[in-house]
Amino acid sequence: MAKLQVAMIGLGMAAGHHARALLDLADQVECVAAYSQTEARRQAFAAQYPIPVVDSLEAIFANPAIDAVLILTPPSSHLELVERAVAAGKHILLEKPLDISLERAEAIVNLAEEAGVKLGVVLQNRFRPAALALDLLVLTGRLGSLVEASAAIRNWRPQSYYDVEGRGTRARDGGGVLLTQGIHTIDLLLSYAGTPKDVASFVRTTPIHRMETEDLVTAAFSYESGAIGTLNATTAAYPGLPDRIELIGTQGTAVLSGDTLDASFIDGTVAQVGGETSIGSGADPMAFGHDMHRALIGNFLASVRGEDTLRVTGGDALRAQRFIEQILIASR
């Protein structure tokens, strides 16, 4: 199997997990370039990982040997970088969210579709073992028809997190807890339960944080299937609790808490899956292993080779972002 060649664009908070995952997958892929516009970040990255760094985007987009790019920059930069990647005929793995507005997010998905390039999105919680086990329960009908599907995202971020320039602003991040933290669990919830509608919500910024966007949200909604649900999301819940999804069906109930699944069925059987305890819900957002990133990147590479279906698509991320927009609009 010929190795795919990829490049990393952006060497911020998430870069380490991606770099370690790529190095683990060295039999399938070679990362031939890593770029940051900041020299200090390039030097720090080069000192830690055996991956070449470059000081210009042109070195990546003009290199015909590079098959795909991992775009790990702030959301406000995504559309312009996707435009360049598409023009260069390169497949794209894009950090969530797609971009800072629904209009720009839709443009990204349309660009990739029109160009015929793969567009994967880094919503790595899809690859948690317990999340995959719950996906199988839903697909095989073990829970029966869903009557309720709800989620709670109770993270903690200290004020120092939002003191970083641009953090939690509309201009750089596009939003607060929903688009930056909550989108992971929202994407999972929608993958199990389908598309919500008829949304009612309250959106707040608590006195705990000085920030432009929201850090506390409660929403209630119904799904096209007829099920109902609620969503609570916050970054003000010290010290941070595991993200939680609860599915109630006609044949049983399943609770996904972090990477632990507990399901009980009316026929008397149970299903349990236990996972890692570090999940990044506290002050350090990256306090978890890179196994999920490795699985996500492995799936992306397989889809580029035509060997597997892309598990998290631009369309999936767009569905989650549209729902987030619904919640924000309903609160107004």
pLDDT grade for 107, boundaries at 50, 70 and 90: very high
Look at strands 91-95 and 260-265 and give their pairing.
unpaired
Residue 165 has pLDDT above 80, yes or no: yes
Q: Which tens digits make up the pLDDT trace of 68-101?
A: 999 999 999 999 999 999 999 999 999 999 999 9
CA distances from 280 to 122, 254, 285, 318, 322 (A): 15, 22, 4, 23, 25
Task: Tell me the average pLDDT across 297-318.
Answer: 98
Which candidate, 330, 331, 324, places its Cα nearest to that of 151?
324
CB neighbourhood size of 171 (10 A): 11
Residue 111 has pLDDT above 60, yes or no: yes
CA distances from 271 to 87, 255, 260, 263 (A): 47, 10, 11, 5
The topology (CATH level 3) of 4-124 is Rossmann fold (3.40.50)
Residue 7 has pLDDT above 70, yes or no: yes
Residue 277 has pLDDT above 60, yes or no: no
**Complete DSSP assignment for 158-201:** -HHHHTSTTTT-TTTTSSSHIIIIIHHHHHHHHHHH--EEEEEE
Tokens for 64, please give them.
């015909």
Cα(162)–Cα(92) distance, integer angstroms? 28
Please report the pLDDT score of residue 284 as a whole number: 75
Angle at 14 between CA 216 and CA 130, to 5 degrees: 70
Provide the whole-model pTM. Answer: 0.95
CATH of 126-284+311-331, one of 3.30.67.10, 3.30.360.10, 3.30.210.10, 3.30.70.1710: 3.30.360.10
Instruction: Enumerate the domain spans of the chain.
Output: 4-124, 126-284+311-331
